[in-house]
Each structure stands twice: as C-alpha cells, then as structure tokens.
A and B are shown apart, each in its own frame.
Chain A
Amino acid sequence: MKLAVSRPITVTLMIAAIQSGVVSAPTRVQAQQQVQRAPLAQLIEMTGRVQMKRENGSNYQTAKEKEYLYLGDLVRVAKGGRGVVRCTTNSRTWTIPDDNVPRGVANVCSPPS
C-alpha cells in the first residue's frame, strides 16, 4: 500500500536533509559557479604576437592587454613576442614562453586544491 507523505513532513525532511548535508543547497551551486567564473589571471604585458583561445572558443584570437583570463583559457606567444600574466589569487607574474605552444591559465594560476 502506498501512502503519501504529508506536506509538513516533506518540508521537515527537506530542511533536515539540507542541514545534514544530504543535498547541496542551490546557493552553494551558485557560489561554485561564481568562483569558477572569477578571473584566474590578467594579461598585464604583451608585445609581439600574443594569442588566446577562450574556454569554449574554436580559434585563437589576438589577445588584448589588461584582458582577464579564466579557467579553461589558453594563451600562446609567437617567437620574439612577450606575454606576461598576473595570477589574481597570489599576484604571481608568469611570463609565457615564446614557443607558440599554448599554455593554460590554470596551469600556474589555479590554486592548489
């Protein structure tokens, strides 16, 4: 025999479950998304040919100075160029080698988990 749960009990169960960590509260998910979208770094200096590819982009495009870089973004610097990024978490500066091989912003600027 199937019995329906009364509304107050369901609400109580939900509250208890949320308090006990059984479910992730929506606010936590939103907060995580916000953290993920926070910039990891900023391109603070560039000379020569510096290109970047956004996380969901299909092609490399010429980067702009002062541009913010996010998780999943790639940056490459052609021979003779210079690109320097500064990580937002610890202000570390990172000069990307001019070998035209892409580097992920997360490689250096993603904080240790």
Chain B
Amino acid sequence: MTQTKSASRLDRAVDRYEKAIAAIEMADKDLAVELVLDVLTARNAVQAALEDKSQPNPGRLIRAVKELDARLKTQTSYINQVTKLAEWQAILNPPQKEWWWLLDPITPKPWRDRFDWLWRFFSLILLTASLAFVADISTRVLSGGPDLAGVFGVIVPNVLTLLAGQGTLTQNGREGIEHVLTSFKVDKSLWDEFICLAAGLLLGSLILFWFSMPLIADKHYIKLGDKAYEAGQLIVAENNYSRAIKLNPENTDAYYTLGKIYQELADYNKAIENYKIAWKGNNIEAADELASLYFKRHNYQQADEWLELALGTAKTLFYKGKSVKLTPKEFNLLSRLASQDPQEFGNVENLGLFLDDRTFAFIKNKAILINAKQFEVLIGLVDFYLERKKYADSDRRLFLSFTLTKNDKNKHATILAYQGWIQLEQARYSDAETQLRDAISINNKLASAHCLLAQVYEKQKKQDDAKDSWEQCLQYASQYNENENKWISLAIQGLNSKGKAK
C-alpha cells in the first residue's frame, strides 16, 4: 500500500515536471516568470520524491526525469532572459546539488580563456622567481640585524609575494583575489591575465629593488657609517658598514673601512679578514694595513709577505734609457694623469703609457714610491732580522727598498744607514764607514748614522773620529727610539772613557 502511494507521488511529481517544461516550451517568447518558477519547484518535488527511501524508484521514472532534465537545460537561455536566477537563489538559498536553480546562461567562452592555463603557468613561474628574490633580499637586508629601513625593505616584498602566492596557489587566496577583481569590475575572462600581470609587476619591482640595493648601500648605509666613524661611534659605524657590504658585496672600499673599524675595536681577526677581501678587490692600501697589522701582532712572516705584495708589485717604467720604479698606486696615478689628454703625450715604451719628457721627469723625481706605513713596517722587519742576525733577510728588504726611497732623502739615508749597520755587524768596517758617510751626506741629522759610524770608528781604533761621531749621535738621538736609546748609553760611555770631551 505504502509502495503504491510512494510510486504515485513520484509519478505525480514527474507528471507535473513534464507539464511545466512543456508549458515553457510552448510559451516560447511569451515565457513568464511564473512558468519558470513552476518548472523549478516541480523539479524540487521530483527530487523530494526521488529521495524518499521508503520505496524503490521505478527505472522508467528515473529515465523520464533524466530526459526532462535534458529538456530543461535546453531552455536555459530562455529562462535567463526572463528572470535572473541569481535573485531567486538569494531568496530560496538552494543547496549546491539543486543545479536547476543555478542554471547559468550559456554564453560562448571568450577565446582568451582558452589560454588561461598558460597565464596560470606564467604566474607560477613569476611567483617562484619572486620568492627567490625575496629570500635573497631578506637574507641580505636582515643579516646585520633588523633596522627600520631594513625591516620595511623585507616586509613589503614578503607580504606582496605571500599574497600573490596565496592568491594563485590556494582556493581561499583565489577567492580573495576574485573578490578584489570583482569589486574592481574586472571582466571574469581577464582574471588570469590580471593575476599574471600582478605577478609580473611584483617580480619587476623585486628585481628593481634588488638592483638598487648597491645604491641604497652606498647612499644610505655608507653615509651613516662614515658619519658614525667620524663621530667615533665605532659600533654604529660597524653595523652600517656590515649592512652596506651585505647589500653591495662589490664595494671593496667598504671592506677596507670596515677593516679599519675592526682594527680600532681591537678585533684584529675580523680586521684582517676584511682587509684581505679589500685587497682582492684591488684596494692597494689594504696590503699596507695587513703588513702593519701583522707586524704589530709580531707575525713577522706574514708582515713580510704582505709588505712584499704592497711593494713588490712595483712597476718599472723605461723611457729613453731612463727607468723608474712605481708602486701600483703610483702607476695608477700615472695612468690617470696620462689619460687626461692622450693625444698630446708621447708613448712610454713597454707600458704603452703616454707621457711627455717633463711629466715623466716630474714623476720620476717626485713620486713617493713607499709610504710612511710601508716604511715603518720595512724598518721594523729589518730591525727584527738584524736582531736575529739574519743579515741576508735584512739585506733583501733593504735592497728592494733602495730604489723606492730614492725620492725621499730621509728615508733613503735611513736605508743606507741600515746597510752600514749590517756591514758593521759583519765586521766589514770600511764598507760600513763609506755607507754611513753616504747616509750622513744625505741627511746629517740622522742619529742612527752618526751612532753607528762612531761604533765603526771605535772598531777601527779611530778614537778622535769616534768621539766626534758620538757627540753627533747625542745631538740627534732620542731615547724614545729603541735603538737610539741603546746608542745614547754607548755614546755616554764612549765619551766618558775618552777623558771627557773638550
């Protein structure tokens, strides 16, 4: 009995559904909203009967429902012309499975949408590239610890990339982006193109930011670092320089300054590390600092090697039979000077430089080929070798420096005096006397030359000459110089033993 009743219910529902569809088909252009609602509610009734589990549904009726659904779908465009189903959906709020309430007008798909997969693919590639840039930017900007500008520089690209990534790769994100695009009234067929364009713009701005990092480093962090360094705020200067280097690792001058900062902070290992990088980047002064630093830390072998690098790469200019040694710094200066108007200079053999006679002579006679720092290390090393009686090493250093000091008479005289000292130690008294006299003829205020010459005369038993030289030694020697301090004592002893000076 129940079975008959249920079958009748489905029968009646299908019958009503069929009649409602027929009415729509018949109405054609005169289709009324009520007819549409009749057919949709009739379909509701069919669904309710189908879901009645108290009895099996006859196959013929299910088949009939399928055929009627197909007929309904063919009416979609007419239905959408009469009424907006979206409005009824808002009132009735049908579940997703009741597809007949959600019939969309059948509109031809724009040709562009056929390439949506391609846009999505491009979006994915652009976002992947953006992520790589964001990772690199974040690492470099935050490596020295966060600051306001750095945090801003990291947060903005990170957030943008995450938003873009989420919008492309997750359902929720996509819905969010669709909401934004809808609110901007962007045509749905252009959404994928818009997303791809946004990903492209994001990548473009990240690339722009990435390439501007050296500029930010130089214009912002280096300036801050310099200001702090001048004000004696070494930690602040260090932070800014470290950050500048992370943003622009090519700035080798920044490594040099950072090395100086670390040296002042007595962090010698870091100073050495930075000087070495600066040296690799052709910062010649870094070799001077390394030689000096190693020497002060009593690492004489390293000091010697770095001094060799600082001086040993000196270049020799040959020009019309004349020659002059130039350090890389002087060589670069020479090239710079010469390049100001190459047309007006002659060619210097072997180096392809352009110089006239006067300029060449000017540089040859005036150029400083060894600076004060290099000379200090050099003399320190010579002292070190002399103290250990390594005369060959002392001589090697002095020999190499001989040409380099030729434009500085005080330094040149010092080199000669040291050569005389070695000869004195080797008991070559006549050679030593000549060498020391030469030194004094260049610089007669050179205490070391007088003090050493006095010792030579003593060895030669020339007592009067020795007395005069001891007096001259005392005239210029300073107790603040280690060697001269010893010689002052010797001079006093020497003069005392000679029965007082006249």
Contact residues in A for B337 (Cβ distance below 8 Å) = 13, 16-17
Which chain B residues numbered 134 to 150 have a C-beta less than 8 Å away from chain A? none
How many angstroms between the C-alpha atoms of A104 and B445 in the bound complex?
Answer: 12
- A104 contact from B330, B476, B496, Cβ within 8 A: B476
Contact of B366 with A by CB under 8 A: yes
- Of B344, B475, B477, the residue contacting A73 (CB under 8 A) is B475
Chain B residues near A106 (CB-CB < 8 A): 447, 475-478
CA–CA, A34 to B358, complex, Å? 31
Complex: how many Å from CA A110 to CA B481? Answer: 10
Q: Are A12 and B340 in contact (CB under 8 A)?
A: yes
Contacts of B208 in A (CB 8 A): none
A22/B330 in contact, CB under 8 A: yes
Q: Does B356 contact A (CB under 8 A)?
A: yes
Contact between chains at B478 and A112 (CB < 8 Å)? yes
Per-residue contact bits, chain B 355-373, to A (CB 8 Å; 1 contact, 0 not): 0111100110011100000
A91 to B347, CA, bound (A): 58
A residues within 8 A CB of B132?
A: none
Whether a CB of chain B sits under 8 angstroms from the CB of A31 is no
Complex CA distance for A99 and B473, rounded to whole angstroms: 18
Interface contact B475-A55, CB-CB below 8 Å = yes
C-alpha gap A100/B363 in the complex (Å): 50
Does B266 have its Cβ within 8 Å of any Cβ on chain A?
Answer: no
Q: Is A103 an interface residue (CB 8 A)?
A: yes
Residue of A whose beta carbon sits closest to that of B320: A2
Measured between beta carbons, the chain A residues less than 8 angstroms from B481 are 112-113
Q: What CA separation (Å) do A33 and B64 show in the bound complex?
A: 121
Residues B344 and A5 in contact, CB atoms below 8 Å apart = yes
Instruction: Tell me which residues across on chain B come within 8 A of A21, comparing CB atoms.
Output: 368
Q: Say if the beta carbon of B333 comes within 8 Å of chain A.
A: yes
B346 lies within 8 A of A3 (CB): yes
Q: A35 near B: Cβ within 8 Å?
A: no
CB–CB A110/B478 < 8 A: yes
In the bound complex, CA of A1 to CA of B476 (Å): 51
B475 lies within 8 A of A100 (CB)? no
Judged by a CB distance under 8 angstroms, whether A108 is at the interface is yes
By the criterion of a CB under 8 Å from any partner CB, how many residues of chain B are at the interface? 37
Distance between A10 CB and nearest chain B CB, rounded to angstroms: 7
Contact B474 A104 (CB under 8 A): yes
CB distance from A81 to the nearest CB of B (A): 13
A16: chain B residues at CB < 8 Å are: 336-337
With A2-B346, A9-B340, A71-B445 already in contact, the answer to whether A22 and B474 are too (CB < 8 A) is: no
**A39 proximal to B (CB < 8 A):** no
Chain B window 85-120, contacts with chain A (Cβ cutoff 8 Å), 1 for yes, 0 for no = 000000000000000000000000000000000000
Question: Complex: how many Å from CA A104 to CA B475?
Answer: 4
Cβ-based interface call for B492 (8 A):
yes
B501 adjacent to chain A (CB < 8 Å): yes
Q: Is the CB of A17 within 8 A of B366?
A: yes
Min CB distance, A55 to chain B, in Å? 7
Beyond A16-B337, A20-B333, A106-B475, whether A5 also contacts B366 by CB under 8 A is no
B477 CB contact (under 8 Å) in A23, A24, A104: A104
- In the complex, whether B345 has a CB less than 8 A from a CB of chain A is yes
Q: CB-defined interface of B490-501 with A at 8 Å, one 1/0 digit per residue?
A: 001001100011
Q: Which of B15-48 contact A (CB under 8 A)?
A: none
Among B345, B358, B362, B474, point to the contact of A103 (Cβ < 8 A): B474
| Residues of B with C-beta under 8 A to A6 | 341, 344
Chain B: residues with CB nearer than 8 A to chain A? 330, 333, 336-337, 340-341, 344-346, 356-359, 362-363, 366-368, 445, 447, 471, 473-481, 488, 492, 495-496, 500-502
Nearest 8 CB-CB pairings of A with B: A112-B480, A110-B478, A104-B474, A23-B366, A72-B475, A5-B356, A100-B500, A104-B475
Given A17-B362, A22-B367, A102-B474, 7 further pairs, Cβ under 8 A = A4-B344, A6-B341, A22-B366, A60-B502, A72-B445, A101-B496, A102-B471
